[in-house]
Structure formats: C-alpha cells, structure tokens
C-alpha cells in the first residue's frame, strides 16, 4: 500500500474513533454482544486479585501465547514472552490508539492469542480472536488482521465486485487454501473437512472447484495428496470473485479474515457450520447473509443445487451478505467493538 493511501486510511480511522462516546457505545448490537461476552462476570465483578490468578493460570497453560496489557494514563505496558509477535503488537497498537484518542480507564486485560483457545477463563476475562462456542470467560475481540487494517484488500474486492456482475460469475462453488484443520499424515486424514471439500471437487468438477494451495501439517509426507490433482496454484481473493458461490470452511480455527472478504465480494457464501466463532458471528443470520453447510460438508452439493435452482433468492442472500460486510465489518466497526469490550471490562473491575 502506498504511504499516502495509508495516511488517508489512518485519518479516516481516527475521525471515526473521535465520533464515538467511549463510556457508552451507541450500537445496540455491540452492546448486546459485549453484555453476552461478560455475563459470567457481571455479578461477581473483576478484582485485581482475580486478574492476577487468571494471569498465573494463563501463563502456565499458554506461556508462549498469552499477554497481559496494563493500561495506565493512555499508555499500554505489555507483559508477554513474545511481546513483538504481530498478534500482540497490533492489539497493543489498537488499545493505545483508543486510550489516547477517546480515553480509557486504567485497568489490566489479558489476551490468549492462540488460533483458538482450549480452556475456560475462570477468574477474570481473557480476550481472544476466536473461540469454541462452549467456552466461558473467553471474550471475543476483533482479530489483529482487521485492527491492523485491510483497507487495500477491501478496495480490491469492491472493484472486483463491480467488475463481475452476478450474471457473469461462474455457477460453481470455489475454494483455495492450505491443508489445515487436522493432521494429514494420519489414517483418518480424508475425514478432515478441507480434505472432504477437495475430494468433492475431484468427483464433481462441474459443481465444486476446490484445491489445496499449500501442503502443511503432515500433508507434505502424504503420498496420496501428491497423486492426481489435489493441489493447484493460489488464486487471489480478487480473482475468486469471478465465481458465484464461495465456500468458507474452517482450518485450525475459523477462517479469520477470509469470511469478511467473502461476504464483501457479493458472491453467495456457503459457510460451514462450526463450533468456532469470531466477534461478529452472532450477528450473522443463516439464509439471510449466507447459506449454511453441514460441518462435514455432506450437503454442499445440495446447497449448490438449491442456489442454481433459486438464482434470485441466492443473489438476494449474496447482496445481503455484502451489505452486512459494508455496514458491520469495516475497520472502524472493529475498533468500536474493541472499545466496547474494554469499557465493559473496566466497568466491572474493582
């Protein structure tokens, strides 16, 4: 991205931040989401001793993937084994921008920056970018990628959406990605959802176009994946917009930033149902913003058949998904949500 464009993006972000009231974020959906996130701490509050106990537990469980942020007077001090890790660094950057621009009360917050945390937070809230739905005490915040900024990609996707009218997009479900989501050198590798997706494509090429672009997590030594056409070159997000149906399937956790640009593309998103969730997932409505697909992808072909047979309805869902992305998934929305979470934790802190 050119420096002048980066400057304009920063000025836009700061203008948006200045328009918020730090103590009372106005968006009802944000307030509802944050209330849900902090509900388990609403009655007991969050004491300094509780934060210390949770930090001790988190540090023991995730020594390389945890951080403690101490907010004092608009500055953020970091305690972490890997303070320069990009997930820590950009979260600190975002919190400091909020603290300096709109003001934040002095308090401590904890972060687990694993792809998806494994355990509950018993004593005090722990921020995370993605979590399994069953976990408690783990508070979702926008991931570091959107906090860092995706303005350039968003502009590219918008141009591609304009360049590819719905009628000109290929009536095929499309996906490219790495062999994540399991261990691909074990006997059961073919049951991993991403492996199922590519296998479906190999037997139904007129319905699904899905291939691996990178072999990792045991796939490098899996001879079966080196025979036939399991792999293909990468396809950029911009070029993916040429397809009418875009598939979202988990890897080691949710697909992180991928789902945001899929929704923004104006193509119909076929999203795998999953136990993983990110900060905005509760606002997404199946059959309104996307088409749900079973966790094992067993109904993917049926979903594509439905979309082909109900083209107007499929296009309407795609347009609603794009509208959601434009209204809810811009970078200022992410800062707004992070602000609401930090203010909510501060309000409960003794």
Higher-pLDDT residue of 297, 6: 297
With beta carbons less than 8 A apart as the criterion, state whether 82 and 88 touch: yes
pLDDT band at 227 (very low <50, low <70, confident <90, very high): confident
Q: What letter does residue 292 receive in the DSSP assignment? A: E
Q: Could you give the CA distance from residue 173 to residue 260 in angstroms, rounded to a whole number?
A: 17
% of the chain with per-residue pLDDT over 90: 82
Helix (H) or strand (E) holding 275: none
- At residue 15, the pLDDT reads 57
**CA 164 to centroid of chain Cα atoms:** 25
pTM: 0.91
pLDDT at 199 over 80: yes
Residue 311 — pLDDT band, cuts 50, 70, 90? Answer: very high
Q: Is a pLDDT exceeding 60 seen at residue 20?
A: no
45 Rama class: left (phi>0) / alpha (psi -120 to 50) / beta? left
Task: Break the chain into its structural domains and give their ranges.
Answer: 3-143+331-348, 151-277+281-328
**317 burial type by CB count under 10 A (0-12 exposed, 13-18 middle, 19+ buried):** buried
Token pair for 149: 């900024």
More confident residue, 112 or 119: 112
d(CA 31, CA 25): 7
Q: Which of 97-101, 144-148, 241-245, 255-259 has the lowest mean pLDDT?
A: 97-101
pLDDT (0 to 100) of residue 14: 55
DSSP annotation string for 222-264: -GGGGSSSSB-----HHHHTTEEEEEE--SSS--THHHHHHHH
* Statement: residue 81 has pLDDT above 80: yes
- Output the CATH code of domain 151-277+281-328: 3.40.50.2000
- 207, 291, 297, 305 from 247: Cα distances, Å: 12, 10, 10, 14
């Amino acid at each position: 991205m050119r420096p002048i464009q980066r400057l304009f993006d920063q000025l836009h972000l700061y203008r948006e931040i200045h328009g918020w009231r730090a103590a009372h974020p106005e968006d009802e959906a944000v307030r509802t989401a944050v209330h849900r996130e902090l509900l388990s701490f609403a009655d007991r509050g969050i004491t300094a001793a509780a934060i210390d106990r949770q930090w001790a537990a988190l540090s023991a469980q995730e020594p390389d993937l945890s951080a403690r942020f101490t907010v004092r007077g608009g500055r953020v001090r970091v305690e972490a084994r890997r303070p320069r890790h990009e997930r820590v660094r950009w979260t600190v950057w975002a919190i400091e921008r909020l603290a300096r621009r709109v003001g934040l009360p002095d308090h401590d917050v904890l972060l687990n920056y694993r792809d998806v945390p494994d355990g509950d937070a018993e004593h005090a809230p722990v921020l995370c970018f993605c979590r399994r739905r069953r976990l408690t005490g783990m508070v979702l915040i926008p991931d570091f990628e959107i906090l860092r900024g995706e303005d350039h990609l968003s502009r590219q996707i918008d141009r591609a959406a304009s360049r590819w009218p719905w009628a000109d997009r290929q009536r095929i479900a499309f996906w490219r990605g790495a062999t994540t989501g399991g261990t691909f050198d074990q006997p059961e590798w073919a049951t991993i959802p991403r492996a199922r997706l590519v296998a479906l494509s190999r037997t139904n090429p007129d319905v699904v176009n899905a291939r691996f672009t990178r072999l990792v997590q045991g796939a490098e030594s899996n001879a079966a994946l080196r025979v036939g056409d399991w792999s293909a070159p990468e396809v950029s997000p911009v070029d993916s917009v040429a397809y009418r149906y875009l598939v979202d399937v988990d890897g080691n956790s949710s697909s992180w930033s991928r789902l945001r640009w899929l929704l923004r593309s104006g193509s119909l998103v076929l999203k795998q149902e999953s136990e993983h969730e990110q900060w905005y997932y509760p606002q997404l409505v199946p059959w309104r913003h996307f088409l749900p697909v079973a966790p094992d992808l067993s109904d993917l072909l049926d979903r594509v058949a439905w979309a082909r047979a109900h083209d107007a309805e499929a296009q309407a869902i795609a347009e609603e998904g794009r509208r959601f992305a434009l209204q809810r998934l811009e970078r200022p929305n992410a800062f707004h949500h992070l602000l609401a979470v930090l203010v909510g934790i501060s309000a409960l802190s003794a």
